Chain A
Amino acid sequence: MPVAADPAPQFRDYAHPERLVSTDWLAENLGTPGLVVVESDEDVLLYETGHIPGAVKIDWHTELNDPVNRDYVDGNGFAALASSKGIARDSTVVIYGDKSNWWAAYALWVFTLFGHEDVRLLDGGRAKWEAEGRPFTTDAPSPAPTDYPVVERDDRRVRAFRDDVLASLGQVPLIDVRSPEEYSGLRTTAPAYPEESALRAGHIPTAKNVPWVRAAADDGTFKPKQDLESIYRGEVGLSEGDDIIAYCRIGERSSHTWFVLHHLLGFDKVRNYDGSWTEWGSAVRVPITKGTEPGSV
């Protein structure tokens, strides 16, 4: 049974306001039957230092990724994971995390691959909850397992693969959400981030550079719809009916942009190319453009 959406006025303009909850809403709704709060961070230990009371943890590296193949867990794996976290198929799942919700958005996107209906983000993430002096606890919850069904992952709707990108080069808008330094080919990782083995630097030809952070306000919340419109429709020129593909380095920052384009601005067809630069930048014979211009095919 879904928990009622947050009616907060700051969400009203978004295409799908029900995809966000405010810290006020969450504080009032903690413990509501049917609500499961999930923390998903870059730092695998941050949850253990203290988390929102009752929240469970999902780690992208060790729980969402398949340990052998470079892929996500399959239907069985996801059902087992969800069950162990006390998530039922009809649970309202609210995800929050560090780094302006990068990994939270990534987890939300993976939930979407499995068609989990009601999954939302806490606007502003962990940092906002903390900045407002709200409670954290180190008490580990022990949720009762659920009978989450085995649902086959749907990789067609919101996920793009290298071959999809290659086949549609020049025909669909590509958004590169990495930093300008990565886009132009000065480096292969975000400034101050470790090397993650891409052999070449630059971007996919025709991709426009819109760093993910442009969608975020200083406090980590999403910018108002009007601001987002002027960036993505105005500057980038995206329009209704576009088949959009976003990518970054490993698919986490582009999940953030995917959330903005799909849920906040209402573009129907948005896919995240999770192979992203760690795949493209190491693949043989795929075209690469260097410099600050999108380039052509």
Chain B
Amino acid sequence: MPALPPSLTEIRDEFLALDLKERLQLLLEFANELPPLPDHLKDRDDLFERVIECQAPVFIDLEVEDGAVRMHATAPREAPTTRGFASILVQGLSGLSAQDVLAVPGDYPHLLGLDEAVSPLRVRGMSGMLARAKRQVAEKTAA
């Protein structure tokens, strides 16, 4: 199994060092840190893909430039859990090479110790987001 990229390892270790209640707080911090869209993607709804595995409306777009990946996401304020999931992936995947993103294990969301804190059903939403992110990167790399 390939090693996790340092960005994702760091996020995982941050979560696992905390108790269940603190993990929720950290997820909330991630939710609050979800970066706004860059100017060139504002009002470009057509570029974004809806993550239907999430209960809240969340949309993602992955850019690949010179082999480096940048992920963007929007999710409503009233859906902080989903925002938190998106923010983890935006922070963890952005800056990685396309190859590294494609090698991220599909069960990464379940490695964060959130299944107990948030419930496995909800974490599945992040798995859907990751799968879609990887698929976008694969498509954009092939083209």
**A interface, CB within 8 angstroms of B:** 42-46, 48-49, 61-62, 67, 98, 192-196
Q: Which of B35-55 contact A (CB under 8 A)?
A: 52-55
Are the CB atoms of B119 and A194 closer together than 8 Å?
A: no
How many chain B residues have a CB neighbour from A under 8 Å? 27
Q: Which residues of B are found within 8 Å of A67, using beta-carbon distances?
A: 116
A45 and B80: CB pair below 8 A?
yes
CB distance from B32 to the nearest CB of A (A): 9
Specify which chain B residues have a CB less than 8 angstroms from the CB of A193 in the assembled complex.
55
Known: A98-B78, A194-B53, A194-B54. A45 touches B119 (CB 8 A): no
- A44 near B125 with CB under 8 A, answer no
> A62 to B84, alpha carbons, bound, how many Å?
18
The segment out of B4-12, B22-30, B103-111, B135-143 that lies at the interface is B22-30
- How many whole Å from A99's CB to the nearest CB in chain B? 9
B58 to chain A, nearest CB (A): 11
Q: Could you tell me if A61 and B121 are in contact, using CB atoms closer than 8 angstroms? A: yes
Tell me the bound Cα distance from A42 to B116 in angstroms: 16
Chain A residue contacts of B54, Cβ below 8 A? 194
Q: Would B78 and A44 count as touching, CB distance under 8 A?
A: no
Taken together as a complex, chains A and B put the C-alpha atoms of A46 and B117 apart, in Å, by 14
Inter-subunit contact B124/A45 (CB<8 Å): no
> Could you tell me which B residues sit within 8 Å of A by CB distance?
24-25, 27-28, 31, 52-57, 77-82, 84, 116-119, 121-122, 124-125, 128
- Complex A-B: 19 CB contacts under 8 Å: A42-B55, A43-B80, A44-B122, A45-B28, A45-B31, A45-B80, A45-B84, A46-B78, A46-B79, A48-B28, A49-B28, A49-B80, A61-B118, A61-B121, A62-B116, A192-B52, A192-B57, A193-B55, A196-B121
Complex contacts, A62 vs chain B, CB 8 Å: 116-119
Assembled-state Cα–Cα distance A43/B53 (Å): 14
Bound complex: CA A67 to CA B119 (Å): 9
Q: Which residues does chain A contribute within 8 Å of B56, judged by CB atoms?
A: 43
Q: Which of B24, B78, B118 has the most CB of A within 10 A?
A: B78
Give complex CA distance A279, B56 in Å: 24
A197 CB, nearest partner CB in chain B, Å: 10
Contact A45 B55 (CB under 8 A): no
Check A43 against B81 for contact (C-beta < 8 Å). Answer: yes
Give the Cβ gap from B94 to chain A, nearest Cβ, in Å.
22
| A189 and chain B: residue at smallest CB distance | B52
Q: How far is the CB of A52 from chain B (nearest CB, A)?
A: 15
B18 to chain A, nearest CB (A): 14
What A residues does B57 contact at CB under 8 A?
192
Task: Report A286 CB to chain B, min CB distance, Å.
Answer: 23
Give the residues in chain B near A192, CB-CB below 8 Å: 52, 55, 57
- Interface contact B55-A44, CB-CB below 8 Å: no
Q: How far is the CB of B117 from chain A (nearest CB, A)?
A: 7
Instruction: Return B112 CB to nearest CB of chain A, in Å.
Output: 14
B81 touches A45 (CB 8 A): yes
Q: Name the one of A42, A45, A61, A98 contacting B24, with C-beta atoms under 8 angstroms.
A: A45
> Is there contact, CB below 8 Å, between A44 and B119?
yes
| Nearest CB of A to B100, in Å | 27
* Chain B min CB distance to A178 (Å): 15
- Nearest A residue to B84, CB-CB: A45
B84 neighbours in A (Cβ, 8 Å): 45
**Once the chains are docked, how many angstroms separate the CA of A49 from the CA of B78?**
9
Residue contact B118 to A194, C-beta cutoff 8 Å: no
| Chain B residue nearest to A194 in the complex (CB) | B53
Within the assembled complex, what's the spacing in Å between the Cα atoms of A297 and B99? 55
A292 to B7, CA, bound (A): 50
Q: Complex: how many Å from CA A62 to CA B128?
A: 21
A196 to B125, CA, bound (A): 11
